[in-house]
Amino acid sequence: PPAAPAEPGIHQLDDHPLSDLAEFIDWTPFFATWELAGRYPAILDDPVVGAQARALYDDALALLRRIIDERLLSARAVFGLLPANRRGDDIVIWTDESRQQARAVLHGLRQQGRKGGSQPNLCVADFVAPEGTADWIGAFCVTAGHGLDRLVAAFDADHDDYHAIMAKALADRLAEAFAERLHHLVRTRYWAYSPDEQLDNAGLIAGGYQGIRPAPGYPCQPDHTEKQVIWDLLDVEERIGVRLTEGMAMLPAASVSGLYFAHPQARYFGVGKLGRDQVEDYARRKGWDLATAERWLRPNLGY
């Protein structure tokens, strides 16, 4: 049976130590920001870009140290571990453990391609137990972007483009590190379905743990508007000051949001191309007209 969270409900972390997050940084995408191709830490000794990468890394560590010591950025998070069940391709989130009243509904999309053998056509709802079995889902938003505008403005005033770009890149890395760290805390402490997990940073980055944290707008649920469900559930804007734009981008930009699935077989996948019949069904479930559904699902339309 699914594991009940050790600490269910909604939790808020208001000023998480940046020094803790620094240990969870995935540096490989940082170098990609500067168009240096290669995996960290091997890139530091690369015969072609190694010297440049090492100089960049040293500068990044110096600025990161300053950000931590002077508290130039603040890291904030809100997350919830809530009773939930699958209903068709949707996930119903309940108001409480009695599972009588729906608090919110997350809508899923199912893969349409023909698959060989016993390969299932997946939908994120498949990773939650159907009604009648007590199961849970997690939702979260983390940010490391508060304070970034002021920091970047100070560099801009000095015509220091290099450090302005560096500050933005580090804020993005810290936000992603916070998403990694928080997921780790959820698995081992708050939900505690993997209390004995032992992974180093490389193991975490490789996703060598039980469960996934997909975000609305990603391949397994390409509809960005599903972020609004997370915002309403967790009062994200009121609690940690991250808002959604009309286009469903997060502000501050150095923020990450998503869902937690704990199922041992939960994995990332791509929904792929959608037929008109499924888009019509999705529109009906969302309470949309077809044109609205087609607008938000445009990259996935197969007709």
pLDDT tens by residue, 272-297: 999 999 999 999 999 999 999 999 99
pLDDT for residue 1 is more than 90: no
Q: What is the pLDDT of residues 196-211, one digit of tens each?
A: 999 999 999 999 999 9
Confidence of residue 216 (pLDDT cuts 50, 70, 90): very high
pLDDT for residue 236 is more than 90: yes
Helix (H) or strand (E) holding 293: helix 290-296
Q: How much is the pLDDT for 116?
A: 80
What residues contact 227, with CB distance under 8 A and at least 6 apart?
215, 216, 217, 244, 248, 250, 257
Identify the CATH number of the domain defined by range 9-78+137-260. Answer: 1.10.288.10
CA 268 to chain centre: 12
pLDDT for residue 188 is more than 90: yes
Q: What is the pLDDT of residues 147-159, one digit of tens each?
A: 999 999 999 999 9
| Euclidean distance between CA atoms 175 and 16, whole angstroms | 11
| Euclidean distance between CA atoms 183 and 139, whole angstroms | 10
Average pLDDT of span 187-202 = 97
pLDDT for residue 115 is more than 90: no
pLDDT mean across residues, the chain? 98
**What size, in residues, is the chain?**
303
Confidence of residue 113 (pLDDT cuts 50, 70, 90): confident
Confidence of residue 117 (pLDDT cuts 50, 70, 90): confident
